[in-house]
Amino acid sequence: MSTLFSPLTLRGTTIRNRVWVSPMCQYSSVDGRPTDWHLVHLGSFARGGAGLVMSEATAVAPEGRISPQDAGIWNDAQAADYRRITDFIRSQGAVPAIQLAHAGRKASTRAPWLGRGYVPVEEGGWPTVGASAVGYADWPAPRELTADELAAMPQVWADAARRSLDAGFDVAEVHAAHGYLLHQFLSPLTNHRTDAWGGDLAGRSRLLLDVVDAVRSVWPQGKPVLVRISATDWVDGGLDLDETERVAQSLADRGVDLVDVSSGGNSPDQQLSPSPGYQVPFATRIKEASGLPVAAVGLITDPLQAEQIVASGRADAVFLGRELLRDPSFAQRAAAELGADVYWPDQYLRARV
């Protein structure tokens, strides 16, 4: 009996298996609106048997986009365009999920194949905002958000969550990792504030917890809220695993249903040597500290590897990214290798044996 292909229920939402699609930016939106590319991209994973299909980092405000071509959910037109995508994902038996995000100081950048780097205002970019006026690498320093702006920020996320419901999503994930805005507040590398949103961990985690409260307040009780977090900055003096464990405990108290555990992304000085499953121990520590279910992510590419991670209890699900780009039918292939059952659409049944 494969644990990887057993269902997982969070609140009133049952996900058919533990092979989940990581949010992966496609840099293919127009004015924040998804296109045919997103329908095919996300739909292929649902057709391929994945249990949960998560959209890319989706900006809660225009200035929160990672790039001018990134997805958004700050207006009703964007939400309406997602409906056909979520309908298709659900028609294939998968659960549609959305990652709500704000890039903060790492916004207004180019797609990777355009050389990354900051996009200046005269080329279609915009001034960025952040926890403190500390730039990323050689990019311009962001404007420090004011206390009034921070007090209003949770409502921005709540409004985005409400639109996500209208768009047909069943799971919402708050993005607090990879050096984006909420991570910038959590980390002492990027949060030099001395007011109520800075200083000790309680101050630095205030915005994240307020955002989670706001999202949870509008998200139905039967539907789960997830948080993606970077367990460590991989930099001396930055956010570390001990602090992240304490943040996860606070998330559990706020009604979060699962923590999606990644790492890094907040500093170009990070020191890490990725290897297969290198972030799994972080997920296990977060699970033990918080009592919450967790998902592991990062260089998980092999069916047996994924099965062992979940069957051993080190994580409750695995998020796959690049491996699913290479093979959108990974879940179907993995099930065959593990002797498990998985969804196949009628149109593809002749390829099952």
Q: What is the pLDDT of residues 209-247, one digit of tens each?
A: 999 999 999 999 999 999 999 999 999 999 999 999 999
Q: Helix, strand, coil % (nearest 5) of the chain? A: 40, 15, 45
What domain count does the chain have? Answer: 1
Residues 6+ away with beta carbon under 8 Å from 68: 108, 119, 124, 125
Query: pLDDT band at 1, cuts 50/70/90?
Result: confident
**For residue 1, is it within any domain?**
no
Count of H-run helices and E-run strands, the chain: 11, 12
Q: How many CB atoms lie within 10 A of CB 113?
A: 7
**For residue 176, is it within any domain?**
yes
The two tokens of residue 293 are 């279910």
pLDDT of the residue at 153? 98
Instruction: Please give the share of the chain, as a percent, with pLDDT higher than 70.
Output: 100
**Is pLDDT of 353 > 80?**
no
Three-state DSSP state, 324: helix
The two tokens of residue 111 are 């797609």
Rounded mean pLDDT of the chain? Answer: 97
- Crossing angle for the helix pair 76-91 and 36-47, to the nearest 10 degrees: 30
Whole-structure pTM value:
0.96
With contact defined as beta carbons under 8 Å apart, do 245 and 286 qualify? yes
**Is pLDDT of 350 > 90?**
yes
**For residue 3, is it within any domain?**
no
pLDDT of the residue at 11? 97
pLDDT digits (tens, 9 = 90+) for 145-182: 999 999 999 999 999 999 999 999 999 999 999 999 99
Nearest-angstrom CA–CA distance, 90 and 282: 31
Nearest-angstrom CA–CA distance, 260 and 304: 21
Residue 118 annotated to the active site: no
Which entry of 180, 278, 343, 348 is annotated as an active-site residue?
180
**Is pLDDT of 12 > 80?**
yes
pLDDT of the residue at 151? 98
Domain of 134 in residue numbering reads as 8-351
**For residue 67, is it within any domain?**
yes
Let me know the angle formed at the C-alpha of 190 by 226 and 225, rounded to the nearest 5 degrees.
5
Nearest-angstrom CA–CA distance, 130 and 289: 29
The two tokens of residue 126 are 């915009």
Nearest-angstrom CA–CA distance, 345 and 46: 10
**Is pLDDT of 285 > 80?**
yes
pLDDT of the residue at 31? 97
CATH code of the domain covering residue 151: 3.20.20.70
pLDDT digits (tens, 9 = 90+) for 90-133: 999 999 999 999 999 999 999 999 888 999 999 999 999 999 99
With contact defined as beta carbons under 8 Å apart, do 60 and 160 qualify? yes
N-to-C CA span, the chain:
20
pLDDT digits (tens, 9 = 90+) for 26-38: 999 999 999 999 9
H or E, element range at 202: helix 201-204
**For residue 2, is it within any domain?**
no
**For residue 205, is it within any domain?**
yes
Query: pLDDT band at 342, cuts 50/70/90?
Result: very high
Nearest-angstrom CA–CA distance, 201 and 210: 14
pLDDT of the residue at 272? 86
pLDDT of the residue at 273? 86
DSSP E strand boundaries for 102-196? 129-130, 143-144, 171-176
